[in-house]
Structure 1
Amino acid sequence: MSSLLARRAVATGTLGAVAAGSRTAAGIGLATLLGGGNAFDAAVAACLAETVALPSKCGLAGDVVALYLRAGDTTPTSLVALGGAAAGLHDAAAARDWDVPATGGLAVGVPGAPAGYDRLAALGRLGRVRLTEPARALAGRGIVWSALSAHLAHEARHLLAEHQPGGTVYSPATGPIPAGTGLPLPAMARLLAEYAQHGAQLFGGRVGEAVVRRVAAAGGVLTLADLAPVTVDETLAHSVHTSAGPLWATNAPTYGRALTEVFAGQDVTRTGPDRVRDVLARQARGGLAPAGEGTSTVAAADAEGNAVVVVHSNSFPQFGSGLVVEDYDLVLSNRAGRGFAFEQGHPNAPVPGRRPLTTLHAWAARHTAGWLLGATPGGEQQVPWNTALLGALLPTGRGESDLGEALITPRWQLGADGTVTREGEGLPEFGARSSHVIVRSAPGRAAAAADPRWDGAAVAA
């Protein structure tokens, strides 16, 4: 069974390949390649489709972190589209003696996703309007509520009911939505039409006004001025030397620095929980939390040599802040409540405009003919899970068959007290909630791989 899962996790083609956390989104990404797009077009189309298919995980009110290579690049570029602290958040937190819940009105973050998607689309050929259309059409005709979405909505039912006592489209007051139910999202279709028209300026008009009203009703301080488009930070990714060669990762404020610190100067086959525990203990956010489901990942590569991996997120837990803007079926993230340290003078305190530290990150490594790029959701568990994957993948030949074998390697994770739990020892086999995507680029050939543990899929042509 394991060898079968490993083979089915990987797809290879001569035009391009896409992996995503949603099968529907992966298919839309591949259709974009077949329609004349490049890897960036495919990734953006798939990401926008995931905002419809996986509304608990990602959306236009969330954030985007990416790592990419254009054909001919010798170093990956780190892209971070992450909003800073709202102007009034620091004083509001101080007035509460720094007791700010991780969900609710004060927890809502400034969205970076519209600017992030826009910048990635600019690296493609098809343009934002065309890339948005498949997601808009999907929302209009409706999604099939998957078993995963039903599970995540069940876990978040108390959170959603706390902030929407009358129910939401994702969690009606009459009861949970059964898996397999058709769920039209016409309000989200309107949101995507607004994004197609306005792009990074999405929140400058009526959508932003609706967000501000919803946040204010929940006791938050977000303003239209706070919702101005974020600056997308694009810099060459940093790297470290490992026993298996260089490893690149996204830059601060992502946890890419934590991942590379784990591997810096290390024998990758011996890097494990003790090393990861020590590195994470030094992060400015503080202690560990259980793996969350507020994030998804998409990766794409084409035969021209372009490759990109995107991590887009509503933060933690599923359904972010728990607030839904019903006019647009829009789940508001809680990057602020989850990401900042609410403590006077802390280096990660919510000073106006400061971006919070985020566990989101992506990595890259070379193989003999090209590049590997990858990422996973999972909150603080992203570093443990990436460590386990890379420990299996980097010492191999890094061929296409190696991708699937590395994906089924047992995962381990760290508890809040630092204890280690492993698949097959405390966790069921394939019981970790990782959801890796990987792409492998080479001249005239591309491969993608998706973690078999959840609902991801890899496709190629």
Structure 2
Amino acid sequence: MSPTKHEQRGAHGAASSTHYLGTSTAMAVLARGGNAFDAAVAAGFVLQVVEPHLCGPGGDLPAVFVTAGDSTPRVLCAQGVAPARATTALLRDELGLAIVPGTGLLAPTVPGAWDGWLTMLRDHGTMSLAEVLEPALGYAASGFPLAPRIPTTIDTVADFFREYWPTSAATWLPDGNVPTSVHRLPVLAATWQRLLDAAAAAGGDRERQIDAARDAWYRGFVAEEIEAFCRTPVRDESGRDHAGLLTAEDLAGWSASYEDALTVDVGDGWTVAKAGAWSQGPVLPQTLQLLHDGDLRYPDGVASAETVHQAVEAIKLAFADREAWYGDSAPVPLETLVSAEYAAARRALIGDRASLELRPGSPDGREPRLGAYAAKPGAKHGDGVSGPGLGEPTISPTGAVRGDTVHVDVVDAAGNMVSATPSGGWLQSSPTIPALGFCLGTRGQMFWLEDGLPSSLVPGRRPRTTLSPSLGLRDGEPRLAFGTPGGDQQDQWQLCFWLAHTVGGLDLQAAIDSPAWHTTSFPSSFAPRGWEPGGLIAESRLGTATLDELRRRGHVVTDAGEWALGRMCAVSRGDGPLLRAGADTRSGVGAAAAF
């Protein structure tokens, strides 16, 4: 198929994000002499303002990157951990909950985005905190244009805000009404200015001032206000009022960290670099290993029915392993899970018919264990369940896109390249903290309340996040940074993009525009955490014949419409001097640029 817009190309820098103001901010930073890390940080803060229904200052941040001086992929982990008071004994036994509520104050983990962005800026950027925060602070103080989905999201939760979360009503319902064109966040702007003042008061060099701003958040006034706010019970998705669990001590004892990226050779000279099994990142290389030597074809730039079938069946197996083996609360046999030998043994399970079962494997001979709640199919996400946000407001079974997360990719001429997927702290996730102007994220809903699982709720451990930025290396050289919002769909839509680009031969933009699909045939990471055996959501541009063939093979197909799935972003560098960028066409606000 022909792309609906051209891949962007330039010799100096390239950026892609889920909002045009994030991309334009990144490009402005690059044009002023900043590097890819400066640009990504500045864009990340802007996205917290202009896509507040998808991420916020109280959210999380994973990133995978390479530097101009070191082509070894590294991961920045700014995923906060469960509070010291967050135990299964409390939530399950004392409060009587079956799952962690997707909204309110029980699910927040330590907010990691601030420390993550500042750690990246300090260690790999060149600009001051004031310089990279200036665009976001300006939008918060003076106003920002509302993307079409923001008023709709606010309207959906407006009555709930008025009745149960008055601090959110005060922030998002000026004069009691849903904003429609421009909105301001003056309290958030004041919080950011106070953090900048703390940095300036510390004196010294750029790094010292950045560290002072980190301290002001995690060991200063922000931590104090978070603890004070969490003491008051608020209504959550369970239908009851609960106080929060986060304390200032939880924040003071945590910081963002670096780790080696998981790198997996997936054939044809390509290596995929992802975060480890505390995320769902290994799902993509696991799936590509399963598809090795498969009958994958892209006639006229569109995946064949056989390609979609094989991809869906492979990713079901990978997500079954995610459910049984991924997490931060127990050892994970990760090396085996992503190995070619393990994939070869599992590949035999891919037949001509759609599987309706959850089939985790036995890496190293270990018996898989599924939690009782996860093992039984149940209510699908968006299946008529009411409440503000329902955790991450991702994709309904009908394929309707309701938003979820943001993404930004940047590459510069020197060779710095970063892929980041910030999320959490959505305006509809928990009440606005009135003294700070933002709310907390609810990533803790991804923990299970059944003990002994890799993703069981354990104090001080990370939830098994869906956030999954990616790098691609060709013959050992970093070539590609990519990612998308979408919760459980992130690595599925990345698979669609990867196959269209590397198998179908489409350029970045055409690969992003290529018809996408995903399966719902595994437990959701978000409340109410159900799944649909055989469920397959697909864009109609795959073609009637392809969708009919998939139904014949036993897939429970929902036609999502022509342009409904994915908000992919990507940048790349090739053999020559040109850098490239492509961005989501479907949302209407994603943008790519190069110069």
| TM-score w.r.t. length of structure 1 | 0.90
Counterpart-to-counterpart distance in 2, 1:135 and 1:335: 24
Residues 207-216 or 158-167, more deviating = 158-167
Structure 1 gaps of 5+ residues are: none
Q: Please, what is the CA RMSD of the aligned residues?
A: 2.3
Select the structure that is richer in strand.
1
Partner of 1:176: 178
**1:250 alignment partner AA:** A
Partner of 1:206: 221
Which of 15, 20, 43 aligns to 2:40? It is 43
Partner of 2:322: 283
Counterpart-to-counterpart distance in 1, 2:160 and 2:516: 29
**1:340 alignment partner AA:** F
Alignment pair present for 1:106 and 2:130: no
Counterpart-to-counterpart distance in 2, 1:204 and 1:295: 27
Which of 430, 435, 442 aligns to 2:567? It is 435
Which of 72, 76, 81 aligns to 1:79? It is 76
Shift of residue 279 of structure 1?
1.6
Per-residue deviation, residues 265-322 of structure 1 (Å, max 9, x unmatched):
533734511111222123238477463533100111100111101110117xx53533
Query: What secondary structure does 2:322 align onto?
Result: coil
Alignment pair present for 1:259 and 2:300: no
**2:191 alignment partner AA:** L
Partner of 2:118: 118
Question: Residues 460 and 359 from structure 1, CA distance in 2 versus in 1: closer, same or farther, beyond 3 angstroms?
Answer: same
Residues 409-418 or 354-363, more deviating = 409-418
Counterpart-to-counterpart distance in 1, 2:494 and 2:4: 19
**1:446 alignment partner AA:** L
| TM-score w.r.t. length of structure 2 | 0.71
Shift of residue 264 of structure 1?
1.7
Partner of 2:411: 301
**2:502 alignment partner AA:** L
Per-residue deviation, residues 225-272 of structure 1 (Å, max 9, x unmatched):
012263323222112232333222122311111221111253373451
Partner of 1:135: 136
Counterpart-to-counterpart distance in 1, 2:429 and 2:112: 15
Residues 14-23 or 96-105, more deviating = 96-105
Counterpart-to-counterpart distance in 1, 2:582 and 2:94: 48
Structure with the greater alpha carbon radius of gyration: 2
CA contact (8 A) 1:240 1:265 kept: no
Equivalent residues in 2 for 1:57-456, closer than 5 Å? 57-90=54-87, 91-93=89-91, 94-99=93-98, 100-122=100-122, 123-157=124-158, 160-161=161-162, 163-165=164-166, 167-172=169-174, 174-178=176-180, 180=181, 182-196=182-196, 197=199, 198-201=212-215, 202-218=217-233, 219-228=243-252, 230-244=254-268, 245-264=270-289, 266-267=291-292, 269=296, 270=307, 271-284=310-323, 286=374, 289=381, 291=394, 293-314=403-424, 318-319=426-427, 321-336=429-444, 338-367=445-474, 370-395=478-503, 402-415=507-520, 416-418=531-533, 419-424=535-540, 426-432=559-565, 434-442=566-574, 444-454=577-587, 455-456=589-590
Counterpart-to-counterpart distance in 2, 1:173 and 1:352: 41
Counterpart-to-counterpart distance in 2, 1:97 and 1:145: 40
**1:80 alignment partner AA:** C
Query: What secondary structure does 1:449 align onto?
Result: strand
CA contact (8 A) 1:83 1:355 kept: yes
CA contact (8 A) 1:3 1:405 kept: yes
Residues 281-290 or 194-203, more deviating = 281-290
Counterpart-to-counterpart distance in 1, 2:162 and 2:52: 16
**2:267 alignment partner AA:** S
**1:174 alignment partner AA:** G
CA contact (8 A) 1:160 1:322 kept: no
Shift of residue 161 of structure 1?
4.4
Partner of 1:457: 591
CA contact (8 A) 1:276 1:383 kept: no
CA contact (8 A) 1:84 1:355 kept: yes
Shift of residue 441 of structure 1?
2.5
Per-residue deviation, residues 101-150 of structure 1 (Å, max 9, x unmatched):
12111112211111110121120111222111121122111111221222
Aligned length: 449
Question: Residues 168 and 343 from structure 1, CA distance in 2 versus in 1: closer, same or farther, beyond 3 angstroms?
Answer: farther
Residues 437-446 or 150-159, more deviating = 150-159
Question: Residues 355 and 162 from structure 1, CA distance in 2 versus in 1: closer, same or farther, beyond 3 angstroms?
Answer: farther
CA contact (8 A) 2:105 2:245 kept: yes
Query: What secondary structure does 1:74 align onto?
Result: strand
Query: What secondary structure does 1:308 align onto?
Result: strand
Residues 185-194 or 242-251, more deviating = 242-251
CA contact (8 A) 2:11 2:577 kept: yes
Counterpart-to-counterpart distance in 2, 1:92 and 1:199: 34
Counterpart-to-counterpart distance in 2, 1:75 and 1:159: 47
Query: What secondary structure does 2:507 align onto?
Result: helix
